[in-house]
């Protein structure tokens, strides 16, 4: 009750088994509710199979193969073919 909060609730759509174990071990006083638990994580720490990018699914963001296209033109890598 360091910050004056009597009870903390965590509500999550998805969690990893290892992440839940660490959270509960570190903070046994909190209440955790999870929609589903995935057993595996990839090298980036994302749940496998996971949900994909929920924001992209929600807002219909088109998939872009080249992440360079997401950068502002002034921040993109330049090649000799860009110079006219």
pLDDT in tens, 23-77: 999 999 999 999 988 888 888 877 777 666 666 767 777 666 666 666 777 776 7
- Indicate the DSSP class of residue 65: S
The answer to whether the beta carbons of residues 15 and 41 sit under 8 Å apart is no
Rounded to 5°, angle at Cα 49 from 44 and 52 = 75
For 16, list phi and psi in degrees, rounded to 5: -90, 150
**Predicted confidence (pLDDT) at residue 14 exceeds the cutoff of 80:** yes
> Percent helix, strand, coil in the chain (nearest 5)?
30, 25, 45
| Count of Cβ atoms closer than 10 Å to residue 33 Cβ | 9
Q: How confident is the model at residue 10 (pLDDT cuts 50, 70, 90)?
A: very high
């Amino acid at each position: 009750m360091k910050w004056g909060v009597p009870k903390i609730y965590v509500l999550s759509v998805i969690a990893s088994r290892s992440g839940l174990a660490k959270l509960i071990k570190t903070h046994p006083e909190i209440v955790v509710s999870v929609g589903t638990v995935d057993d595996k994580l990839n090298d980036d720490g994302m749940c496998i199979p996971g949900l994909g990018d929920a924001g992209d699914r929600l807002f219909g963001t088109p998939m872009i193969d080249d992440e360079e296209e997401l950068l502002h033109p002034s921040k993109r890598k330049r090649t000799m073919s860009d110079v006219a």
